[in-house]
Amino acid sequence: MRVLVVDDDFMVARIHGRFVEQTDGFEVVGTARTGAEALEQAAVLDPDLVLLDVHLPDLSGLEVLERLRRQSREQGRDIAVIMVTAERGAAAVRAALHGGALQYLVKPFEYDDLADRLRRVAATLATLPGATGGREEEVDQATIDRAFGAGARAVVPQALPKGLSPETADLVLEAARAAGEISASETADAVGLSRVTARRYLEHFVDIGTAEVRLRYGGTGRPERRYRIAT
């Protein structure tokens, strides 16, 4: 499947693109950083699937979703959409569901989370036959049930320990990605947290496999814990 990745953060877009390329049967055909770019590239590149963020600098991803649906109907083609976003608001989730998104995946996530949803979307589309001879083939209830079961829409928030917020978690992840390798003290300075709080976020990412930790030994005292985002 040909995939268009839409995210205003080029580093995040690159990571998501790498995840796509790791998954058999999927390839990245383009990336976009704004809603306008997404619509333009969708028209030119004709992707099968769009990974779409909600928060874009010009248009809401939900508006882009609506326009993609309209654009697809006008041009007689289908584009599947997976919302890939840090937005957890119920209103946004409802809008995505009503707008036709097949999946909704909450950042931050691991490779397996995205790969699973990519495969579900592929399974859904493979279940339903296309038009033949200009006529849409009818399907029975069992086929319909398989299609909806394979592509069951789901919100998958990554559970955070009590006292940690998803917004701050995103900031900690961004700081760690930008630094390549970072300590709790450096994270605290970059994000504006206490060292203890910064370490709680970093250790949580280690626990769920999003980050790795190594010990750096100095002169005296305890070794320093250094964190990096897992690849």
Q: Name the nearest CA neighbour of 158 among 224, 190, 205.
A: 205
Distance of alpha carbon 87 from alpha carbon 140, whole angstroms: 36
CATH assignment at residue 50? 3.40.50.2300
From residue 37, alpha-carbon distances to 18, 97, 162, 226, 230 in Å are 20, 23, 38, 38, 30
pLDDT at 28: 97
Both 8 and 76 in one domain: the answer is: yes
Q: Quick check: 80 and 48 in contact, CB under 8 A?
A: yes
Q: Residue 210 sits in which domain range? A: 166-229
User: Which pLDDT tens digits describe the chain residue by residue (231 residues)?
Assistant: 999 999 999 999 999 999 999 999 999 999 999 999 999 999 999 999 999 999 999 999 999 999 998 887 787 778 999 999 988 887 888 888 888 898 888 888 888 889 888 988 888 777 665 544 445 667 666 665 555 554 443 333 456 788 888 878 888 888 888 888 999 999 999 888 899 999 999 999 988 888 899 888 876 667 889 999 876
Tally of structural domains, the chain:
2
CATH assignment at residue 172? 1.10.10.10
Beta 155-156 vs 211-216: how paired, if at all? unpaired
Q: Name the nearest CA neighbour of 69 among 89, 33, 30, 42.
A: 42
Both 116 and 177 in one domain: the answer is: no
Beta carbons within 8 Å of 14's beta carbon, 6+ residues apart: 31
Structure tokens at 22: 């790791």
Both 124 and 171 in one domain: the answer is: no
Is 136 among the domain residues? Answer: no
Question: Is this model's pTM higher than 0.75 or not?
Answer: no
pLDDT at 157: 43
Both 52 and 7 in one domain: the answer is: yes
pLDDT at 206: 87
Is 160 among the domain residues? Answer: no
pLDDT at 38: 96
